[in-house]
Amino acid sequence: MDEVGEVRARTRTGPSNPTRIGLEVALVSLLDAASSALAKACLAASDVAVICGGVAGAGQANLGTQLMGQLQPHFPNAQISIYNDLSLTLAIAGEPPNIVVIAGTGSAVIGRDVSGKLARAGGFGPVFGDLGSAYDIGRKAVVLGLSQSLRGVEKSPLSNEILHVLKMNWVELQDKARIQPDAVFPQVFPVVAKAANGGDDSARSLLRDAAEELRDLVVEVIDRLQLRDEIFLLTKTGGVFGRSAILDEYFDALIREIAPKVKLGQIPVPLAEAAARMALNNIDSPRIDVG
């Protein structure tokens, strides 16, 4: 984005959550995205004045600070700020009280009341639980298929489709999942969503369970901020949403049962663009509060 707010280039790259793939791989992904964008815009790294990043996992174990330190030599003239994606999404979601629920590869919820008090739930990663995430839905679908296989039950349409899309048998799938679970389980989620849209009962059950688990995370934040009887905005983002009406509509209904005055919405712009606009606003004001 240039100094007047015009988007000069958009690019995509691989994953960048350092808690899941390591700091070194995350840095490579971020640098790849930046260099591609600069090339499209016919600019050099030395031209960059401000960088703002919303990076999943950056809020844990000082990883955001480490990323900033490793990015700085590549952008010698830039002021760099790295925030976790959850906090950045909350900052652009609107005036408090508001709550953001992210359900992508991982899952987490964060909220803020009118006094500025913050509350969050989830976001612990796959080892400690990313309930309702693409990773978790995919993992449960694989476990279901494996259980059927071990019992000698005829493969379900969902199980067959998982093996077809991943181009593996159950033995190969297990071997890869042990070594690279992030390369397996999130990739299964679109298969589950497609099967649910086609009427598969087991896939629909998996998505309803995920909606209930996400609801539980949201309820934890709602109750800590005492918002059950208040008007507030709940913003949904992440690749789990928008794939299947089964999950989306059930989740919305569950939330409205808990908080009848809730307003449900989506983030107004893509997170990367929001980060760029925050960087633009940050040129003359280096300190910003995103929670």
Q: Determine the residue type at 162.
A: I
Parts of the chain with a pLDDT under 70? 61, 152-154, 284-291
pLDDT at 284: 62
pLDDT at 286: 46
Contact status, residue 170 vs residue 145, Cβ threshold 8 Å: yes
CATH class of the domain whose range is 94-266: alpha beta
The number of C-alpha atoms within 13 Å of 85 and in the hemisphere containing its C-beta is 25
Query: What CA–CA distance (Å, rounded) separates 86 from 56?
Result: 7
pLDDT at 271: 80
82 closest CA partner among 71, 93, 97 = 71
Query: What CA–CA distance (Å, rounded) separates 163 from 245?
Result: 24
Core vs surface per residue 203-223: b (16+ CB within 10 A) or e: bbebbbbbbebbbbbbbbbbe
- Tell me the two tokens of residue 80: 């760099």
- Tell me the two tokens of residue 162: 């998982």
pLDDT at 289: 44
> What's the pLDDT tens digit per position in 114-137?
999 999 999 877 777 789 999 999
pLDDT at 150: 79
What contacts 231, CB < 8 A, 6 or more positions away? 97, 261, 262, 263
pLDDT at 233: 93
Query: What CA–CA distance (Å, rounded) separates 85 from 252?
Result: 22
- Give the helix/strand (H/E) hosting 156: none
- Tell me the two tokens of residue 280: 């633009």
Q: Cα(first)–Cα(last) distance of the chain, in Å?
A: 24
- Tell me the two tokens of residue 141: 């679908």
pLDDT at 266: 80
Contact status, residue 218 vs residue 101, Cβ threshold 8 Å: yes
Report CA torsion sign: 46, 91, 12, 132. positive
Contact status, residue 159 vs residue 144, Cβ threshold 8 Å: yes
Query: What CA–CA distance (Å, rounded) separates 173 from 94?
Result: 42
- In the chain, where are the structural domains located? 18-88+270-281, 94-266
pLDDT at 61: 67
Q: Determine the residue type at 222.
A: I
- Tell me the two tokens of residue 9: 């280039």
- Give the helix/strand (H/E) hosting 102: strand 98-103
